[in-house]
Structure 1
């Protein structure tokens, strides 16, 4: 079983990947001529925003906990 401190880099990597994916989806939506396709991309972006927010909150708590307890 991993310690909290060992999990932090994985969460940071995952968060970076989600942010990169979100930026890609935003670019795609901006260039998409079809309203329906833009709408689908918007739904995906909104879901990704929720995942980014929850992962960011979890990471902040992990860093606080890991910093206090070192795992």
Structure 2
């Protein structure tokens, strides 16, 4: 059984709702069961997922955004 954890990230480079959608879809492509909340204001992303922080960071970075742990 995999444990679900809540991960919080700071994402740089999101400037519009299209960016929010891109980040959300990149994370859901890695873990379709994840609960993803993206806030454009402040660049915060919260993800409830069984994946590691590293895997989620890679997904965001591959979508073209700067990312780090919050």
Structure with the larger RCO, 1 or 2 (CA within 8 Å, 6+ apart): 1
Bigger Cα Rg:
1
TM-score computed with the length of structure 2 as normaliser = 0.29
Greater fraction of residues in strand? 2
